[in-house]
Amino acid sequence: MHVDVGNALSEAATPGVPRDALDRLDDRVADAHRRISEGMDAGEFGYAALNLPETVDAGEIRAAVEPFADADTVLTVGIGGSALGAAALCDALGDDTRTEFLDNVDPAGVRDLLDGIDLSTTVMHVVSRSGTTAETLANFLVVRDAMQDAGVDWTERTFVTTGPDGNLRDLADAHDLPALSVPDGVPGRFSALSTVGLPVAALAGVDIEGVVAGAREERDSLTGSLFDCPAYAYGALAYALDSRGAGVNAVMPYSEGLETFAEWFAQLWAESLGKDGLGQTPVRALGATDQHSQLQLYRAGPRDKMVSLVTLRDRPDVPIPSSDLDGLDYLDGASLGSLLDAEFRATEASLAESGCPSVRVELDALDPESVGGLLYGMEAACVLAGELYGVETFTQPAVEWGKTAARGLLRGDESLPETPSLRVE
Amino acid sequence: MHVDVGNALSEAATPGVPRDALDRLDDRVADAHRRISEGMDAGEFGYAALNLPETVDAGEIRAAVEPFADADTVLTVGIGGSALGAAALCDALGDDTRTEFLDNVDPAGVRDLLDGIDLSTTVMHVVSRSGTTAETLANFLVVRDAMQDAGVDWTERTFVTTGPDGNLRDLADAHDLPALSVPDGVPGRFSALSTVGLPVAALAGVDIEGVVAGAREERDSLTGSLFDCPAYAYGALAYALDSRGAGVNAVMPYSEGLETFAEWFAQLWAESLGKDGLGQTPVRALGATDQHSQLQLYRAGPRDKMVSLVTLRDRPDVPIPSSDLDGLDYLDGASLGSLLDAEFRATEASLAESGCPSVRVELDALDPESVGGLLYGMEAACVLAGELYGVETFTQPAVEWGKTAARGLLRGDESLPETPSLRVE
């Protein structure tokens, strides 16, 4: 990926980062890079994710999914990091294979999905690191039951990715299901480029070897200076802008194929950095659509935002047919791509004109190498930002309280803490 | 809709609103309600939107779409407020009719969409208040061309909603297309319950009369006190929390059918209130999925957020099949609905436990009356908040700069203002 942080400088934006402050920050980036490199070398928990371009075995993944190559629909049962990486890859790079993600336990949504697919030509990928995630196992049980009701042998249509223990591993052993192992030391939200995110992408026609190659190239660009490394430039500027008041990070790709990438990014950023009272709030947007929704706020609202504009240097295009409609002379000879690019440039300039900081992230094209590089680059940016904030990037302790409480409620333990009520009916 | 603001009180959360401050704020709500009522009575621009439950003619809309009742696919060509209201209604309440929204000019997305639908059984609804929106007209020209290429008479498969002038009105007149008029005085983002949002909903099987009836009931609940009016309670608490530091408003429905509602809300809130350096940043989330993505940040990150939890008192359910899986005793006898409800209650309690303010918005069910009430209620909440902030709720002046610049770029005028560049490749 290519990054331009010019519009995040204090000469362009408020908040903005002075050039000399960037020079000083670069010393901290060098220190952080040493820490990250040590973690990678030792395969430490979390840091090990940045080794995936070397450690992932695409051939093993291809072999595991090969029996399901004829599936019309690929159904992932998983939640959070167990679903978002595959979804981001499939939406950016997938072919016409139908991919569905059961990443919620909404009964209406699950019923509609099951009513709308042919289970006999569906393959189910069940993903849970612990093998015990409540939502995932509940959905698995519902789909398994539906397959049995439809006369489909679920053991022939299911494969799993999980850890060494837990229900999913036991199921795989008992029923001889193809089973991939979650990689050691890789938290769910950093697992897109592994046995978690790549199998379904492979079934959806994605060149996963190209994705990994792009990630490897991005890894090779990790150096001790933000001025030489796009991933670190992004992470360092996000941190520096947040420190100066940009608590909101609006990620706005100008490519519909990257809409799910923004959702993946939101999990990565929120769950990794949102701790100890710190962390930017990621906001998902989409160019050009959200120019008609969020841009008013970005330009004229509080000065608490940075906008991460993601765009493509090259894209397949569609010409706009000429017409004799009044006042549309500016569309003569234009294409949807040139219109979208013009809107991108105009939006970037309009943010600068209003003093709202933005960072430009450019991909060569929506191709496997670039998307692999983007995912890897944002993971590295996040790890760097975690070092700069000084937080525990790879844990998510604040979600445990609610998980325990939900299990208690289902067991009939109604002892939630009392909270005030002020009802308006 | 039903609202509980107990967990937004200062006794529960930080930031939070003291009860006596709410009493004082209620005097301002009374004043604002008088202003709103005057605007409604006079049919003033913007305020007129709150009269839609009385002024919209569902019969006229039914008559306009009746010729297209057999369409397999309903394609809306429109952007921003011209698309989001219909999308929110269809996703919450629609039947199996395929609804698609061309609300962007991404060439890959447009091409994929056109490759995937049968244009001979598609009806196109082109929506633009001005009749001159660049993205909408460009997409219309592309679809019209594709229909002609496919041997489909586009004049038989197209209807429009637009204003009294402009290209779309001219086209409708020239080709005798069914044409609905945008209602007077209703900005796009407040037009869901009108000729903009309801026609496609009607084609998707939505009981639009029920939607309007639900909106009318909500309108009848508008009184001069936040303690008696759910819509005003929501708007007043959002304003009061923002004033105390909750600049982010995360809208988290526990219903997949309301995922697009959150997107609609994000436009309503951002474009109406994001001005003069004011306005909350709306963030779209989804329960229970985003418990595995955003909840860590909400509980442990900066104290700059409120969470708007939207849930259903009743929903169709799916039982979870019993199993002998270890450690899942808490799922015995549970259903996906009871699991989702438990996660909702646990998340609400976990936010309170961490001191993060939340507001609960409950619907009786995902039915036309409740969804109509929700959309109307949030519009009224937004208008009230605009009065409390003292902003021009119904305009969006900050987006004009970019529109002008984009047109200039397409005309070959490259004179965007110079901005700094700092590239990292």
**pLDDT (tens digit per residue) in B234-262:** 999 999 999 999 999 999 999 999 999 99
Interface test with B, best of A318, A394, A413 (most B CBs within 10 A): A318
Contact A420 B288 (CB under 8 A): no
Contact A3 B345 (CB under 8 A): no
pLDDT of residue B323: 87
Picking from B6, B281, B411, the nearest residue to A297 by CB comes out as: B281
Contact A275 B301 (CB under 8 A): yes
Whether A239 contacts A388, CB under 8 Å? yes
CA distance A197 to chain B (A): 16
Which of chain A's residues have a Cβ under 8 Å away from the Cβ of B170? 325-326
Contacts of B249 (CB under 8 A, 6+ apart): B238, B242, B269, B280, B281, B282, B283, B305, B306, B308
Contact B350 A420 (CB under 8 A): no
CB-defined contacts A:B, below 8 A = 440
CA distance A165 to chain B (A): 11
CA B173, B179, B184, B189 dihedral sign is negative
Contact B256 A108 (CB under 8 A): yes
What does the domain layout of chain A look like in residue ranges? 2-36+212-397, 50-206
Per-residue pLDDT of chain A (425 residues; tens, 9 = 90+): 999 999 999 999 999 999 999 999 999 999 999 999 999 999 999 999 999 999 999 999 999 999 999 999 999 999 999 999 999 999 999 999 999 999 999 999 999 999 999 999 999 999 999 998 999 999 999 999 999 999 999 999 999 999 999 999 999 999 999 999 999 999 999 999 999 999 999 999 999 999 999 999 999 999 999 999 999 999 999 999 999 999 999 999 999 999 999 999 999 999 999 999 999 999 999 999 999 999 999 999 999 999 999 999 999 999 999 987 888 888 988 999 999 999 999 999 999 999 999 999 999 999 999 999 999 999 999 999 999 999 999 999 999 999 999 999 999 887 788 889 999 99
Query: How much is the average pLDDT of B165-179?
Result: 94
Contact B257 A325 (CB under 8 A): no
Contact B424 A226 (CB under 8 A): yes
Contact A271 B109 (CB under 8 A): no
Nearest chain A alpha carbon to B416: A349
Q: Given a cut of 80, is residue B414 above it in pLDDT? A: no
How many residues are there in chain B? 425
Contacts of A132 (CB under 8 A, 6+ apart): A166, A167, B327, B328
- Whether residue A288 has a cis bond before it, omega within 30° of 0: yes
pLDDT of residue A77: 98
Which of chain B's residues have a Cβ under 8 Å away from the Cβ of A110? 318, 336
* Domain range B2-36+212-397, CATH class: alpha beta
CA distance B202 to chain A (A): 20
**Mean pLDDT across chain B:** 96
Query: How much is the average pLDDT of B338-362?
Result: 97
Residue A55 burial (10 A CB sphere; 0-12, 13-18, 19+): middle
Instruction: Return the H-helix or E-strand segment holding A251.
Output: strand A248-253
Instruction: Return the H-helix or E-strand segment holding A336.
Output: helix A336-354
Strand ranges, E, within A92-175: 98-102, 122-128, 158-162
CA-to-CA distance for A338 and B53, rounded, in angstroms?
41
Q: Given a cut of 90, is residue B176 above it in pLDDT? A: yes
Picking from B11, B328, B397, the nearest residue to A137 by CB comes out as: B328
Tokens of A188: 């769910």
Interface test with A, best of B104, B252, B404 (most A CBs within 10 A): B104
Is the ipTM of this structure higher than 0.90? yes
Which of chain A's residues have a Cβ under 8 Å away from the Cβ of B350? 401-402, 405
CATH fold of B50-206: Rossmann fold (3.40.50)
Picking from B106, B300, B411, the nearest residue to A274 by CB comes out as: B300
pLDDT band at B335 (very low <50, low <70, confident <90, very high): very high
Whether A84 contacts A267, CB under 8 Å? yes
Q: Given a cut of 90, is residue B92 above it in pLDDT? A: yes
- The values of phi and psi at residue B274, to 5°, are -85, 80
Contact A298 B274 (CB under 8 A): yes
Domains A2-36+212-397 and A50-206 agree in fold: yes
Which of chain A's residues have a Cβ under 8 Å away from the Cβ of B110? 318, 336
Contact B336 A12 (CB under 8 A): no
pLDDT band at B325 (very low <50, low <70, confident <90, very high): confident
CA distance A209 to chain B (A): 23
Residue B283: HSE in the Cβ half-sphere, 13 Å Cα cutoff: 34
Contact A301 B279 (CB under 8 A): yes
Tokens of B292: 């595995």
- CA torsion angle B346 B347 B352 B357 (round to 10): -150
pLDDT of residue B413: 82
Kindly list the distances between the CA atom of residue A303 and the CA atoms of A244, A300, B392, in Å, as whole numbers in the listed order.
Answer: 10, 8, 19
Q: What is the 3-state secondary structure (H, E, C) of B198-251?
A: HHHHHHCCCCHHHHHHHHHHHHHCCCCCCCCCHHHHHHHHHHHHHHCCCCEEEE
Which of chain B's residues have a Cβ under 8 Å away from the Cβ of A191? none
Contact A335 B107 (CB under 8 A): yes
Picking from A6, A230, A340, the nearest residue to B420 by CB comes out as: A6
Interface test with A, best of B100, B117, B292 (most A CBs within 10 A): B292
Which of chain A's residues have a Cβ under 8 Å away from the Cβ of B421? 4, 6
pLDDT of residue A418: 87
Of the given ranges (A206-210, A418-422, B139-143, B415-419), which has the lowest mean pLDDT? B415-419
CA distance B363 to chain A (A): 11
CA distance B298 to chain A (A): 8
Nearest to A235 by CA among A60, A33, A57, A392: A33
pLDDT of residue A112: 95
Kindly list the distances between the CA atom of residue B9 and the CA atoms of A259, B86, B345, B356, B358, in Å, as whole numbers in the listed order.
Answer: 36, 35, 18, 10, 9
CB atoms within 10 A of CB A87: 24
Residues of A with catalytic roles: 271, 292, 403
Q: What is B88-135 written as a DSSP string?
A: HHHHHH--SSEEEEE-S--HHHHHHHHHTS-GGGEEEEEEESSS--HH
Which of chain A's residues have a Cβ under 8 Å away from the Cβ of B6? 419-423
pLDDT of residue A413: 82
pLDDT of residue B329: 86
CA distance A325 to chain B (A): 6
Residues of B with catalytic roles: 271, 292, 403
Residue A324 burial (10 A CB sphere; 0-12, 13-18, 19+): exposed
Strand ranges, E, within A295-335: 305-312
